[in-house]
């Protein structure tokens, strides 16, 4: 079979060359092309557009990237959009492999209507996101980021938004919304810090060592720290909204290292501005990069990071190898 793999700024053609070696060892003919942008920021902007508007929102216009596309049986992509037009041109296509957990950049329904199997790489950066989430929790609750920023301005900061009630994780209730691979890793890390972990996930019955809560409202009422780890779908859009923030206690911390669409940003800003909750830490936003006039930038009780949670060298480097392992197992079954 002939394989076409698209590299980009984050999973580079060099990483693909190394990561897809096993495909070549199994007799696949592999060609690698480069969909890199001028900057990672530019790539992310295209990715956000695709996630919000679908796989056809960004069209590949460079003819060299689509040369002989009708000859390939397999396309492997991380961010390169695979929409209807490309699928129609790829007349021999049997598989689309996505080097990430989500498949927002692929028109899965249309591909499957053509008999093409779409495969993702679930959990490929789960550890990266889970570790980052713990970092966000500690950074916000213990004022690590804001202290560092102040010291770079020669300010010895001691006056924090939570100065009268700076918590420790041990003994607190950690509420995790979405208990897939990432959520469970976060749970393990937090349990190791002696937090009491509860979770909400309508698609998970039970997990040994952790308590399931059947209603989201009950979780947000009980938890001292809340972290969300769901996919962005119509069902989960703004699952955390004004109603949910109103149910949280004044000492609650909210963490989002998943998708911005899961949270009503205006409701979160209102909750922080009026001190309905103690603080928040957020890595993804409806508009990226964050505009200079964003209300988030006026708040002193939030830790902001620039969509970094899943971005580690280890995650990007190992993803092609992980995909190949699962792909070969799938086609041999």
Tokens coding 186: 């976060």
pLDDT of residue 63: 95
* 63-77: b (≥16 Cβ within 10 Å) or e: eeebeebeebbbbbb
Mean pLDDT of 115-133: 95
**Which residues does 89 contact at the CB level (< 8 Å), separation at least 6?**
66, 69, 70
Question: Would you place residue 146 in the very low, low, confident or very high pLDDT band (cuts 50, 70, 90)?
Answer: very high
Among all residues, which ones are annotated catalytic?
259, 288, 307
Reduced to 3 states, what is the DSSP secondary structure of residue 28?
coil
pLDDT at residue number 288: 87
Tens of pLDDT, residues 82-113: 999 999 999 999 999 999 988 999 999 999 99
- pLDDT score recorded for residue 101: 85
- Band the pLDDT of 202: cuts 50, 70, 90: very high
Return d(Cα 254, Cα 224) in angstroms, integer: 9
**Parallel, antiparallel or unpaired: strands 173-177 and 211-212:** unpaired
Q: Are 91 and 70 contacting, i.e. CB atoms less than 8 angstroms apart?
A: yes
**Between 88 and 288, where is the model more confident?**
88
pTM of the model as a whole = 0.86
pLDDT class for 125, splitting at 50, 70, 90? very high
DSSP 234: T
pLDDT single digits (tens) 215-254: 999 999 999 999 999 998 899 999 999 999 999 999 999 9
What distance in Å separates the CA atoms of residue 228 and residue 282, rounded to the nearest whole number? 11
pLDDT computed for residue 190 by the predictor: 98
pLDDT score of 333 more than 90: no
What is residue 51's predicted lDDT score, i.e. its pLDDT? 85
Stretch 59-67: mean pLDDT: 94
User: How confident is the model at residue 52, as a pLDDT?
Assistant: 84
**Mean pLDDT value across residues 175-200:** 98
Instruction: Spell out where the chain has E strands.
Output: 2-7, 29-34, 74-77, 95-98, 117-119, 173-177, 196-200, 211-212, 225-228, 253-256, 279-282, 302-304
Structure confidence at residue 12 as a pLDDT band (50, 70, 90): very high
As a whole number, mean pLDDT of residues 192-200 equals 98
Report how far residue 28's alpha carbon sits from residue 327's, in angstroms, rounded to the nearest whole number.
12
Give the residue, 45 or 228, on which the prediction is more confident.
228
Task: Please check whether residue 252 is in contact with residue 226, taking contact to mean a CB–CB distance below 8 angstroms.
Answer: yes
pLDDT band at 197 (very low <50, low <70, confident <90, very high): very high
Task: Look over the chain and give the mean of its residue pLDDT values, rounded to a whole number.
Answer: 96
How many residues does the structure list for the chain?
A: 333
Using the predicted structure, report yes or no on whether residue 316 has a pLDDT greater than 90: yes
The whole-number pLDDT of residue 188 equals: 98
State the pLDDT at residue 178: 98
Strands 225-228, 173-177: parallel, antiparallel or unpaired by DSSP? parallel
């Amino acid at each position: 079979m002939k394989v076409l793999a698209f590299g980009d700024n984050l999973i580079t053609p060099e990483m693909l060359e190394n990561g897809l070696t096993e495909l070549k060892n199994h007799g696949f003919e592999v060609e690698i092309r480069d969909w890199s942008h001028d900057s990672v920021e530019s790539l992310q902007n295209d990715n956000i557009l695709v996630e919000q508007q679908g796989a056809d929102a960004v069209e590949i216009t460079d003819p060299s990237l689509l040369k002989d596309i009708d000859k390939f049986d397999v396309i492997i992509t991380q961010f390169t959009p695979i929409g209807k037009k490309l699928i129609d041109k790829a007349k021999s296509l049997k598989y689309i492999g996505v080097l990430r957990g989500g498949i927002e950049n692929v028109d899965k329904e249309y591909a499957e209507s053509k008999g093409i199997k779409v495969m993702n790489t679930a959990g490929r950066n789960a550890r990266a996101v889970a570790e980052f989430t713990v970092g966000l929790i500690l950074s916000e609750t213990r004022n690590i980021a804001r202290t560092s920023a102040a010291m770079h301005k020669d300010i010895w900061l001691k006056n924090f938004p939570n100065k009268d009630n700076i918590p420790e994780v041990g003994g607190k209730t950690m509420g995790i919304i979405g208990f897939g691979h990432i959520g469970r890793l976060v749970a393990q890390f937090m349990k190791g810090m002696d937090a009491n972990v509860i979770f909400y996930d309508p698609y998970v019955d039970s997990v040994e060592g952790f308590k399931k809560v059947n209603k989201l409202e009950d979780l947000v009422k009980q938890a001292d720290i809340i972290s969300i780890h769901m996919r962005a779908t119509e069902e989960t859009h703004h699952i955390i909204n004004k109603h949910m923030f109103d149910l949280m206690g004044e000492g609650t911390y909210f963490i989002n290292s998943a998708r911005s669409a899961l949270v009503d940003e205006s409701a979160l800003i209102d909750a922080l501005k009026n001190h309905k909750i103690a603080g928040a830490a957020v890595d993804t936003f409806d508009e990226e990069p964050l505009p200079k006039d964003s209300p988030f930038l006026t708040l002193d009780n939030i830790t902001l990071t620039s969509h970094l949670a899943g971005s580690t060298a280890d995650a990007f480097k190992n993803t092609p190898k992980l995909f190949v392992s699962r792909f070969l197992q799938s086609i041999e079954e």
